[in-house]
Amino acid sequence: MIFILKTFYFCFSLSVGSLQFLNLYYGEIGLAKGQIGMLFAIGPLVMIVAQPVWGVLTDLWDRPKATLLLALLGSACTAAFFPFAYDFHHFVILNLFYWFFQSSINPIADSTALALLVDRNDFGKIRLWGSLGYAIGVISIGRILDFIGLEFMFLLHSGVLLITLLVLLRLPIQKGEKKHFLIKEAAGLLKNQAFVLFLFFNFLLQLTINANNSFYGIHMQSLGASITIVGFTLLLKSIWEIPFFAVSGKLMKRFSYPMLLSFAAFIYACRWSVLGFSDNLQVLIWTQILLSFSFSIHYFASVAYVDVLTPQNYRATGQTLYTAVTLGLGGVTGNLLGGWVLNHFAAETMFQLTTVLALAGIPFLWMEKKDPSIKVSREKDI
């Protein structure tokens, strides 16, 4: 079972890595930069609505394998139509359908993996295979596309998604007995003070991450970095995530979730601060390791903390709601804020602002009074 989970994350992240050249494809077929930006904004917008819907359906039906199969199949089929579209409006429609299916896969897979694992602290050791798959996808698919052309990217992406689907069929997930699930109680997650404060923290942190993801490459190029160097920094981040995910279990056993998340936010702030005050390319390249460290801690601690904060019957709902608020709402806000700042100020100002915002979210994690019974009751569910 563990091997199948590792293979699933590896294959799915390999498919994500294979689509990292989408912006180059849009430019190659003649879309304007403004149109490309609008297309990339569709994903976070769709997440805000689609992910809670998928999460509620997964918990309501108690069929995570069925919803994952549907999401993978829908993503693969939609991606296969991209090479046949050349009009901007066609790409808008395709992106709407693609992200409706694709955006739900990761949070539902995380919820399912945590349910299958005996110890949630082992989640990082599973997730590191995703980082490995992403790194290999960026390298191998990039090489292949250099020879066969960017238009074949979508065929490769769909093919890897279908392989991921076949791996999913091997997961030992069975439909459980009819369980207690009420929409009213699912919506009641937003009345959970600790969960809402956690969402506030992640919203602020994620908007800084999205601002970096969208404009980091442009900033590096403005300082003289080539496309190859920018690609190397992204690869460097993915490779260094692997050892950090490997030690995640030990970190979660030793430190509380708020402590780990606070530390991740502090490391993110250090990274943004370097970008905000240094123009030395060597420094900016190698401090990507800070991003690897902060991302891996932030990822595994957040997913596990959601699992702790939400009742057993509503964990898929909790994971998708968390992703909708952070990657969805936080993603849209981060892109808009970053774009506005860059239109009026220098890139260094944007990174200085994100430094402050990353630190500003930390107090939210410590506002709620600790209830020692929460962690105990959640551990009994596993």
Instruction: Write out pLDDT tens, residues 218-277.
Output: 778 788 877 667 767 777 887 888 888 788 778 888 889 999 999 999 999 999 999 999
Residues with Cβ < 8 Å from 128, sequence gap 6 or more? 241, 242, 243, 245, 246, 296
* CA 264 to chain CA mean position, Å: 15
Question: Which residue shows structure tokens 């903390």?
Answer: 305
CATH number of 2-171+184-381: 1.20.1250.20
At residue 340, what is the residue type? W
In this structure, what token pair is assigned to residue 227?
């496309």
Q: What is the mean pLDDT of each run of 10 residues along the chain (382 residues)?
A: 87 86 79 75 82 73 80 94 91 94 84 76 79 81 79 91 92 52 54 85 91 78 74 78 81 89 95 91 87 88 85 73 82 81 85 94 82 40 42
Phi/psi at 238 (5° precision)? -65, -45
Nearest-Å Rg of the Cα atoms of the chain is 20
Q: What distance in Å separates the CA atoms of residue 318 and residue 324, rounded to the nearest whole number?
A: 10
Task: Indicate the pTM of the whole model.
Answer: 0.73
Counting every residue written for the chain, the total comes to 382
Q: What distance in Å separates the CA atoms of residue 82 and residue 29, rounded to the nearest whole number?
A: 12
Q: What does the domain layout of the chain look like in residue ranges? A: 2-171+184-381
Residues with Cβ < 8 Å from 95, sequence gap 6 or more? 39, 42, 43, 46
